[in-house]
Amino acid sequence: MNYNVKPIESPEPGRDWYEVSDADNEYHLWIVEHDFLTDTMFCTCEEPVKCDHRSAVLTEIAEADWREDQADRLDYARGQF
């Protein structure tokens, strides 16, 4: 199943929230919370073990880190550091 993931503002510092929606039906929506202190993720689907929503968020975090690294490398190559 494909999911759309977008970060949303968390009311608590030290935590990131992500809105995960089904790519086929945007009304199927879950919130995944990433707690930095314990490095755990919680999902509104309340699955006791890893769910697809958490996996989608982990993939998005990794891709965002990669995009940021590529942008930094491009800036460095252009002498903008």
Six-digit token string for 65: 């880190």
Between CA 9 and CA 55 the distance in angstroms is 20
pLDDT 10s digits, 27-75: 999 999 998 888 888 999 988 778 899 999 999 999 999 999 999 999 9
Decide if pLDDT at 1 tops 80: no
List, in sequence order, every residue forming a beta bridge with 42; answer none if it has no partner: 33
Helix or strand (DSSP H, E) at 42 = strand 40-43
Q: Does the predicted model carry a pTM greater than 0.85? A: no
Contact of 22 with 77, CB cutoff 8 Å = no
3 phi/psi in degrees, rounded to 5: -125, 150
Check residue 74 and give its pLDDT.
92
Question: Structural domain boundaries of the chain?
Answer: 3-77
Contact of 1 with 52, CB cutoff 8 Å = yes
